[in-house]
Chain A
Amino acid sequence: MTSTMELYQLLPKTNCKECGKNSCMAFAAALMARELTPDDCPPMKNDPKYKENYETVSGMFSTTEGATETGLIVHEELCFGCGNCVVACPVNVANDPYGVGSGKAPKSTGKLILIIEDGIVKAQNVDECRRFGKNKILCTGCIVTCPVEAIEFV
């Protein structure tokens, strides 16, 4: 995944504020948090001299095939449904401490990100994932607990 700094390098760097942010750096941060999209920077989108950069940045944020909108990919052919990621995911634990948080079947699937269906992990409610949104952190709960590297973020 790209860093805010790398993204910034690709922006117009004029701090024109048309995007509603105070600076291109702030815009880069908003992009990273997926609050805004590359299209929200009018100069980059419309000015031919930024065309190439615009395409690069857009490419970085287009959803990869098979990926959820937050970039989480499950390699289904690798996953064997051990449930480690399900039980280790802090969001799952917070939302269902006595079900999946305790190693058991979900008591309420409402806000869980990861569940096991037919022996394979299924990602849902991905907007709840700690790696995304305003207060994102570099959570690795589901990555380090997987014995076969079946979960990846792109």
Chain B
Amino acid sequence: MEGNYYVCTGCGLLCDDIEVELEKDAVSKVYTACRVGVAHMKEGSREAVSQVDGKPAEEAAAIEKAAEILKNAKNPLIFGLGTSTNEAQKKAIELAKKLNATLDDTSSFCLGPVVEALLQEKFNTCTLDDVRHKGDVMIFWGADPSDSHPRHLSKFSYFPRGEQKQRGWEEERTAIAIDIRKSHTAKICGSNFFQIPPGGDTEFINALIDGVSGKLPKTSYKFPPKRLLELANILKGAKFGTIFMGLGLLYSLESLDPIIKLVEVLNEKAKGEFHLIPVVGHYNMRGFNENLFAETGYVNCVKFENGEAKHGPEYSTVEALKAKAVDAALIIGSDPLASLPRSIVKNLLDIPIISIDPCETLTSRKAKVYFSTAVTGVECGGSATRMDGVEVKFDPILEAKRPTDEEILTKIMEAL
């Protein structure tokens, strides 16, 4: 069975060891991928569809229409891109520049701030391969990778053997979960699950800092100090520790300072080093953040003006729509009509939408112009950035019947 491995773009883990069997131009069997990945990989191989006003149209006519909408807009919004290749993302940035557009991705209401702090080198980080080879203490904090990234624990963070971890997880690794509920990941952590009240993270962080610094750890919700000290001791004994930070933790914090401080203090007090990795959901959200950062110094929420990028919360998708500051939307690989609050969706429905997506979605159905594009990793190749910053390149499995996001973006740009 060894040989032809493909990459799954089903989540930010970008598993690169997937084998498939084909039948009649479609993926018929998938080995080693999780259920999410299998569904994703069997999705590919549809016929190309372009629509204008909900009716089938020639691609050229749809491109023409899309270009017209964007040309007529004073301040178009370009949004999504978390499930596009690096190549498509770079094209979209170029297009945004040319259009003086507002550009944002889902990270502005997701883990964007953490990726930004990471790129600004505000904390120590490492790769998932480092964790597999060396990690002895891993903390899943406000994150439930067992649900969101099913192979996280089996491929990297807990169960596999690695170069310096030859004896297995029972003996050599300690997995810890800190969460407000007993998630599937927490269940696997057994007695190392620390349940805290909603919003209790900042206090818990400060108490842990006290604990590792030899002070009595206290919280207003009276978390047993003995348990906190036990945890502090595990962390102090770590040779290679990693905090996997999820949305649950981010949403509970007013600022990132406490968690950055904790990583710092742990690096001082623990036996070895400590790291933090944001558990990014979409397969290439980190890629978008890095590509935009390289271009503008910001990870999301920008507005271009004569080639210069302005940045601020008012340029986030949510705020821009709320303020009715944008007058057309080009949405790539995202379904905001299904995921954003109703009050914001209302404003989005008032402006013309161009949707580029492998799947038909609520957004694509309401769009003025829709292009169904290739599923990356299945119908087209490219590269993406894994949640830990490692670039992963991939080849297509099938011959595509549909254009890629990048091709559509290029054609729209040419038609402007």
What residues make up the interface of A, taking CB atoms closer than 8 Å to B? 79-84, 86-88, 90, 93, 97, 101-109, 115-120, 144-145, 147-148
A residues less than 8 Å from B398 (CB atoms): none
A109 vs B19: C-alpha distance in the bound complex, in angstroms? 13
Q: List 21 A-B contacts (CB under 8 A).
A: A82-B151, A83-B32, A83-B34, A83-B151, A84-B159, A97-B161, A102-B160, A103-B132, A103-B154, A104-B32, A105-B1, A106-B31, A106-B32, A107-B2, A108-B2, A116-B34, A117-B31, A119-B37, A119-B39, A144-B188, A147-B146
Which residues in window 271-306 of B have CB below 8 A to A?
none
B168 at the interface (CB under 8 A from A): yes
How many A-B pairs have beta carbons closer than 8 Å: the answer is: 104
A interface secondary structure, majority: loop
In the complex, how many angstroms separate the beta carbon of A144 from the nearest chain B beta carbon?
Answer: 8
B residues less than 8 Å from A148 (CB atoms): 184
What residues make up the interface of B, taking CB atoms closer than 8 Å to A? 1-2, 5, 17-19, 29-39, 132, 146, 150-151, 153-156, 158-162, 168-169, 184-185, 187-188, 190
Instruction: Give B187's nearest chain A residue, CB to CB.
Output: A147
Apart from A82-B150, A102-B132, what 5 extra A-B contacts exist at CB < 8 Å? A83-B150, A87-B154, A102-B162, A119-B36, A144-B190
B34→A119 contact, CB < 8 A: yes
In the complex, how many angstroms separate the beta carbon of A56 from the nearest chain B beta carbon?
Answer: 35
Q: Which of A83, A93, A107, A115 contacts B161 (CB 8 A)?
A: A93
Q: Which of A93, A101, A116, A119 has the most CB of B within 10 A?
A: A119
B interface secondary structure, majority: mixed
In the complex, how many angstroms separate the beta carbon of B8 from the nearest chain A beta carbon?
Answer: 11
B150→A103 contact, CB < 8 A: no
A56 vs B17: C-alpha distance in the bound complex, in angstroms? 47
Instruction: Give A117's nearest chain B residue, CB to CB.
Output: B31
B29→A117 contact, CB < 8 A: yes
In the complex, how many angstroms separate the beta carbon of B191 from the nearest chain A beta carbon?
Answer: 12
Instruction: Give A84's nearest chain B residue, CB to CB.
Output: B154
A102 vs B133: C-alpha distance in the bound complex, in angstroms? 9
B146→A116 contact, CB < 8 A: no
B32→A105 contact, CB < 8 A: yes
In the complex, how many angstroms separate the beta carbon of B28 from the nearest chain A beta carbon?
Answer: 9
A residues less than 8 Å from B5 (CB atoms): 105
In the complex, how many angstroms separate the beta carbon of B132 from the nearest chain A beta carbon?
Answer: 6
B32→A80 contact, CB < 8 A: no
A81 vs B160: C-alpha distance in the bound complex, in angstroms? 15
A residues less than 8 Å from B32 (CB atoms): 83, 104-106, 115-116
Given contacts A102-B162, A103-B160, contact A81 B33 (CB under 8 A): yes
B154→A86 contact, CB < 8 A: yes
In the complex, how many angstroms separate the beta carbon of A123 from the nearest chain B beta carbon?
Answer: 15
B29→A82 contact, CB < 8 A: no
In the complex, how many angstroms separate the beta carbon of A105 from the nearest chain B beta carbon?
Answer: 4
B residues less than 8 Å from A118 (CB atoms): 29-30, 38
A83 vs B185: C-alpha distance in the bound complex, in angstroms? 13
B31→A82 contact, CB < 8 A: no
B1→A106 contact, CB < 8 A: yes
A96 vs B119: C-alpha distance in the bound complex, in angstroms? 38
A83 vs B39: C-alpha distance in the bound complex, in angstroms? 16
A108 vs B151: C-alpha distance in the bound complex, in angstroms? 20
A83 vs B153: C-alpha distance in the bound complex, in angstroms? 9
A105→B31 contact, CB < 8 A: yes
Instruction: Give B18's nearest chain A residue, CB to CB.
Output: A105
A147→B161 contact, CB < 8 A: no
Q: Which of B5, B159, B162 has the most CB of A within 10 A?
A: B159
Q: Which of B151, B161, B188 contacts A102 (CB 8 A)?
A: B161
In the complex, how many angstroms separate the beta carbon of A40 from the nearest chain B beta carbon?
Answer: 37
A residues less than 8 Å from B17 (CB atoms): 104-105
In the complex, how many angstroms separate the beta carbon of B369 from the nearest chain A beta carbon?
Answer: 34
A residues less than 8 Å from B29 (CB atoms): 117-118
B residues less than 8 Å from A86 (CB atoms): 154
A83→B35 contact, CB < 8 A: no
A148 vs B184: C-alpha distance in the bound complex, in angstroms? 7
B residues less than 8 Å from A145 (CB atoms): 159, 188
Q: Which of A80, A87, A106, A144 contacts B34 (CB 8 A)?
A: A80
In the complex, how many angstroms separate the beta carbon of B39 from the nearest chain A beta carbon?
Answer: 7
A145 vs B184: C-alpha distance in the bound complex, in angstroms? 10
A residues less than 8 Å from B190 (CB atoms): 144
A123 vs B19: C-alpha distance in the bound complex, in angstroms? 18
Instruction: Give B147's nearest chain A residue, CB to CB.
Output: A147
B residues less than 8 Å from A83 (CB atoms): 32, 34, 150-151, 154-155
B residues less than 8 Å from A84 (CB atoms): 153-154, 158-159, 188
Q: Which of A108, A117, A147 contacts B188 (CB 8 A)?
A: A147
